[in-house]
Amino acid sequence: MTKTQEIRKEYGSFKSAVKHYAGIGCSRVLAAEYLGISLPYFRDLLKRHNLNGEFKPQKEMLRECRPRGGAWRKKGMKIPRRLKYSDEYLLEEVSRYPVSTTFMSMSDVDVSTIYRRFGSWSNAKKLSESL
């Protein structure tokens, strides 16, 4: 039995199932999840049955279906940049630790930064000793 047949059996028709979930304020994502259909296929079915207009605007949806503030940036906001360490600072950090494994567990700087900047741990260690 296909998924749409299961939905028809349980809800009477695909349209009534969509209208039910849209009516209670579910988003398309949540409705697809409840019905057990992949989101791309669900969107295709909505288009075929002309049901996209059944869903409420985001303001009126269930709280669980609305986007949350942290990841949504307002237009014009600056995106924070990663820290850029000076070579001197990195070499000072390297000189504080005898081996790279200790560095990885103790330092705030990621060891990949050292590898990228100096090529290897041993190169960075040699340069830090010459300071």
Q: pLDDT of 43-72, one tens digit each? A: 998 999 898 888 888 888 887 776 665 555
Note whether 33 and 41 are within 8 A (CB). no
Mean pLDDT of 12-35: 88
pTM above 0.85, yes or no: no
How far apart (Å, rounded) are the C-alpha atoms in residues 17 and 7? Answer: 7
The pLDDT value given to residue 73: 60
How far apart (Å, rounded) are the C-alpha atoms in residues 5 and 37? Answer: 12
The pLDDT value given to residue 71: 55
What's the one-letter identity of residue 7?
A: I
The pLDDT value given to residue 99: 92
DSSP 3-state assignment of 18? helix
> Does 15 score more than 60 pLDDT?
yes
The pLDDT value given to residue 119: 94
Mean pLDDT of 100-117: 91
Contacts of 27 (CB under 8 A, 6+ apart): 55, 58, 61, 62, 65
The pLDDT value given to residue 126: 93
